[in-house]
Amino acid sequence: MDRILIRGGNRLSGKITISGAKNAALTLMPCALLTDEPLTLRNLPRLADVDSFGHLLNVLGASTAIEGTRPNEFGRVMTARAGNLSSTVAPYDIVRKMRASILVLGPLVGRAGVATVSLPGGCAIGNRPIDLHLKALEAIGAEIELAAGYVKATAPGGRLRGGEYRFPVVSVGATENVLMAAVTARGTTVLDNAAREPEIVDLCNLLVAMGASIDGIGTERLVIEGRERLHGATYSVMPDRIEAGSYACAAAITGGDLELVGAAAGDMRATLDALVEAGITVEERADAIRVAAPDGIQPLTLSTAPFPGFATDMQAQFMAMLCMAQGTSTLTETIFENRYMHVPELARMGADIAVNGRTAEVHGVKKLTGAQVMATDLRASMSLILAGLAAEGETQVNRVYHLDRGYEGLEEKLQQVGADIERVGDG
């Protein structure tokens, strides 16, 4: 199994190109199931999860063709065409590896009138039930059956009908799933307390490009007028705001100066505001964000929240950065109940962190020391990379397959800005 070795202490300086967003890509790809015409996605990141989702589309009967497969090339172009669906079953062997697979449920039942999807897997960061997905689909006419680890959704008469649903809590995945189902339903669907994340906006924009009618894009109230059918489109995946935020933390923790090319400041305002509060220099440019470290990082008090609040996917990276702050920081995780699994690994490197329920107190230390550490999930993996970049000596990060799910060309990008980092195999 591969692992990543980091010899820390180097100041990072230069330019890093931000890739297409993982969370957006995995939401846009299932839209190919809504039409029999080609859907072309540009700026698609080279990630294990993207490859897995492409395989799932193939299993369901869609053809996929990839451009941009040269070594060390970032971003690809994928054209998917689901002329005829050969299956409406998303099997356990694929879905267990990737929670985003549940997002084929909505488009499949929307187009074919039936969908059977294994209950999902993904990162072990706490309980992430799909009950809101199912209740929202029921609100637009789907009949739901759970059996033997699968969920089956059926549209009586072969087509869903419009309806109204108010999410009791904000759910990104449930909003995405019911959106894709509603665009071909009969009549009008109204979704209240819908998620407003930039990835939701990206999905809505693609669906509109495919012929859907959606009002209220970017707000908590979405009104969808169902269409008989959608058509193909060509669309570029938005830049990855979590990747950009992660590399911003890399600049801060190493005392560096990085230009994040292609990053969209409007999509990551809470992250940038937190960096500024920590004393980091943030300069917004036309097509990039410059992040430069001060003499010292200031402590923060942060709480995760749905967009436009501070993203849960940035919590672990900020925790690593704040390990080197001049004082005590307080982080509260409100989204997932088990997202501090990186804390014991950071402690192995000399971090001083005390966890009490959903709150973590991070006491800044003068230095971190390299150690062997184990990645537990995608964002936790990046927190260990960040700590390793700043630590004295060598850090070995194991179970890096988590990183391959969400960061395109991580070692290459960091090497280009001065990091001493490499991937090695057991052999």
pTM, whole model, 2 decimals? 0.94
pLDDT tens per residue, range 83-128? 999 999 999 888 887 878 899 999 999 999 999 998 875 433 334 4
421 has binding-site annotation: no
Domain spans in the chain, listed from the N-terminal domain onward? 3-19+239-424, 22-236
d(CA 161, CA 110): 10
Which regions of 139-232 does DSSP assign to beta strands (E)?
143-147, 150-154, 164-166, 188-192, 213-215, 221-225
Question: What are 371's two structure tokens?
Answer: 């150690």
36 annotated ligand-binding residue: no
Our answer to whether residue 249 is catalytic in this structure is no
Question: Does the annotation list 22 as a binding residue?
Answer: yes
The residue from 123, 204, 249, 323 that is catalytic is: 123
User: What pLDDT sits at residue 123?
Assistant: 37
pLDDT digits (tens, 9 = 90+) for 16-74: 999 999 999 999 999 999 999 999 999 999 998 999 999 999 999 999 999 865 555 67
Percent of the chain with pLDDT over 90: 84
Could you give the dihedral angle defined by the CA atoms of residues 68, 71, 74 and 75, in that order, rounded to the nearest 10 degrees? 20
Within 10 A of 93 (CB to CB), how many other CB atoms are there? 9
Any binding-site annotation on 10? no
> At a CB cut-off of 8 Å and minimum separation 6, what does 123 contact?
99, 377, 378, 402
Question: pLDDT by residue (tens digit) across 171-193?
Answer: 999 999 999 999 999 999 999 99
| Reported CATH class of domain 3-19+239-424 | alpha beta
DSSP for residue 340: -
Contacts of 342 (CB under 8 A, 6+ apart): 316, 319, 320, 376, 377, 380, 383, 384
The one-letter code for the residue type at 418 is G
Q: 189-212: buried (b, 16+ CB within 10 Å) or exposed (e) per residue?
A: bbbebbbbbbbbbbbbbbbebbbb
Closest by CA position to 382, among listed 354, 363, 362, 406: 406
For the chain, report the end-to-end CA distance as a whole number of angstroms.
Answer: 9
Average pLDDT over residues 319-343: 92
Residues constituting the chain: 427
Distance of alpha carbon 46 from alpha carbon 263, whole angstroms: 17
Q: Are 126 and 336 in contact (CB under 8 A)?
A: yes
Q: Is 23 annotated as a binding residue?
A: yes
DSSP H helices, 230-268, are 241-253
Task: In whole angstroms, give the CA distance from residue 306 to residue 282.
Answer: 23
pLDDT score of 124: 39
pLDDT band for 254, please (50, 70, 90 cuts): very high
Render pLDDT for 368-421 as a digit per residue (tens, 0 to 9): 999 999 998 888 899 999 999 999 999 999 998 889 888 999 999 999 999 999
242 marked ligand binding residue: no
**129 annotated binding-site participant:** yes
Q: Which of 296-305, 335-344, 408-417 has the lowest mean pLDDT?
A: 335-344
313 has binding-site annotation: yes
State the Cα–Cα distance between residues 261 and 244, nearest whole angstrom: 9
State the burial class of residue 115 (Cβ atoms within 10 Å of its Cβ: 0-12, 13-18, 19+). buried
If we measure between CA atoms, which residue out of 256, 248, 246 comes closest to residue 10? 256
* Domain 22-236, architecture per CATH: Alpha-beta prism (3.65)
Give CA 247 to chain center in angstroms.
Answer: 15
Report the SS3 class of residue 197: coil
Q: Do domains 3-19+239-424 and 22-236 have the same CATH topology?
A: yes
Instruction: Supply the pLDDT for residue 125.
Output: 32
Residue that is written with structure tokens 């397959």 in the block: 401
Give the DSSP H or E segment for 271. helix 269-277
Q: Are 255 and 293 a contacting pair, CB within 8 Å?
A: yes
Per-residue pLDDT, 425: 85
Place of tokens 């694929």: 94
